[in-house]
Amino acid sequence: MRDFDVVLYGASGFTGRQTVEYFARNAPPGALRWAIAGRNRAKLEAVRASLGSLAESIEILVAEAHDQPAIDAIVARTRVLLTTAGPYALYGSQIVEACVRHRTHYVDITGETTWVRDLIDRYHDEAAATGTRIVPFCGFDSVPSDLGSFLLVRHLQEQGGMGHECTGVRAFHQMRGGLNGGTMATAFHLYESGQASRAGDPFLLSPGARISADQLARSADPRGPRFDPDLGQWTAPFVMGPINTRVVRRSEALFGDWGAGYGETFTYQEYTRLSRGPAGAVEAAVLSGASALFGAVMATPLRRLLQPLVPQPGEGPSEETMNHGWFRCDLIGRLEDGRVVRGVIRDQGDPGNRATVKFLCESALCLALEDPHLPGGAGRGGILTPATALGDPLADRLRRTGMTIQIGI
């Protein structure tokens, strides 16, 4: 028994404040014990006060991310630790280490694949041995990609019969929203730390996986415009593709280790979905060129000229922008016999903020409330992914929030 079911760490930040509001409005009253935590008591008290009677009885816990004894004291009191304090390579390692030692489940919204690879090397075996679920990537990167691919492949496998092995899934994203300062701080830290080139490995998060030359070739990150015949539209590289693709490939590798892989020739790739015809071709070329230019600038000291132009940590889009944003992720799976099966995940709300908060909070609630139904049973642990740690229970919870998740359409 612990004092709390979930503790929200980083609760006074831009995204953290949204998680507190989400829990205050959606956590089952009387069925969930939760608290908020961070490094500044005055800011945490202001967050609690802003919600009035919805959160007036919520306990406040204080700890600097690098104060190991203080972090241990918080982690030891909760069954699940949710954190929005990034960049995680700077503020997350000691929290994860404490969660593994205290056997406390963990969720975050990182997109820092190189940091997660280091977590795999350090903690995966220990967390697996104790059934502790450490689940990064529980925001817009990478729940739609990872959960959508899992649901689509499982749908195909459940059909049975010859010609039903899935050879690959492609995801096509459309979205409208705004940036927050935490996301941009993470991107700058990736380049400042010299980790960007390491992030280019398509199988960075799949150590030990057996990869054929054909799979490796088909898994290279897209670089330019492409017309997709199944979609009938032009596409360009998706900005989060170098994150999401690694996560989906880790899911496939883990399921393969457990005897439930996606398929011997399975590959995954994703794109930004654009228009048809000549207009779509122009859009794809412009977006591909802009993406390449941004990456080239970020890889040089010139990136420092961009920093004053983007939101700073603690800043983000307006309430109107977040409320009027939206996202749509279309998925196409191809069978060995050439047929295609489709799926879609979509919702209203800025993907980097509203949707991310929903994904993250429902992931934490999954760990806290759906324990008997989680994939793999109580014994599954390790540095996992949304699909391998949460699977169908997370999809069911998201559907109940009003999110559209349709598979096999």
Q: Which residues pair with 344 in a beta bridge?
A: 330, 406
Residue 29 carries which side chain, given as an amino acid letter? Answer: P
Q: What is the pLDDT of residue 161?
A: 56
The pLDDT confidence band at residue 160, using thresholds 50, 70 and 90, is: low
Before 207, cis peptide (omega within 30)?
no
Question: DSSP alpha helices (H): ranges in 273-401?
Answer: 277-298, 303-306, 319-324, 356-369, 386-389, 391-400
Give the CATH H-level superfamily of domain 4-139+354-388.
NAD(P)-binding Rossmann-like Domain (3.40.50.720)
Residue 405 has φ and ψ, to the nearest 5°, of -135, 105
Mean pLDDT of 262-276: 94
Going from N- to C-terminal start, the domains of the chain cover 4-139+354-388, 143-349
Whether the per-residue pLDDT at 349 is higher than 90: the answer is yes
- How far apart (Å, rounded) are the C-alpha atoms in residues 383 and 128? 8
Element (H, E) at 181: helix 181-192
Interatomic CA distance for residues 362 and 204, integer angstroms: 27
Q: Which two tokens stand for residue 409?
A: 């359409």
**Tokens 């799976």 found at:** 333
Handedness of CA 334, 202, 175, 154 (dihedral sign): positive
* First and final C-alpha spacing in the chain: 44
Residue 24 and residue 361: Cα distance in Å, rounded? 11
Q: What is the pLDDT of residue 163?
A: 53
Quickly tell me which residue has 């507190």 as its tokens: 20
What's the burial of 244, exposed, middle or buried (CB within 10 Å: 0-12/13-18/19+)?
A: buried
| pLDDT tens sequence across 85-142 | 999 999 999 999 999 999 999 999 999 999 999 999 999 999 999 999 999 999 999 9
Contact 108, 34 (CB under 8 A): no
**What is the β-pairing status of strands 233-237 and 78-83?**
unpaired
Instruction: Give the model's pLDDT for residue 31.
Output: 87
| Amino acid occupying residue 389 | A
Look over the chain and give the mean of its residue pLDDT values, rounded to a whole number: 93
DSSP string for residues in 26-39: HSPTTT--EEEEES
The string of pLDDT tens digits covering residues 37-87 is 999 999 999 999 999 999 889 999 999 999 999 999 999 999 999 999 999
**Does position 162 have pLDDT exceeding 60, yes or no?**
no
More confident residue, 195 or 34: 34
Angstrom distance (rounded) from CA 31 to CA 150 = 30
Selection from 132-141, 175-184, 211-220, 318-327 with the highest mean pLDDT: 132-141
The 10 Å Cβ neighbour count of residue 163 is 10
d(CA 41, CA 59): 11
Over range 24-39, report the average pLDDT.
Answer: 93
* Better-predicted residue by pLDDT, 378 or 380: 380
- Report yes or no: 316 and 296 within 8 Å, Cβ to Cβ: no
- Vertex 240: Cα angle to 239 and 241 (nearest 5): 95
Burial of 29 (0-12, 13-18, 19+ CB in 10 A): exposed
Widest CA span in the chain: 62
Query: Residues of the chain with pLDDT > 70: what percent?
Result: 99
Predicted confidence at residue 309, as pLDDT, reads 83
CA 334/CA 162 separation, integer angstroms = 14
pLDDT over 60 (residue 165): yes
Burial 49-73 (b: 16+ CB within 10 A, else e): eebeeebeebebbbbebeeeebbbe
pTM of this structure: 0.95
Is residue 29 scored above 90 in pLDDT? no
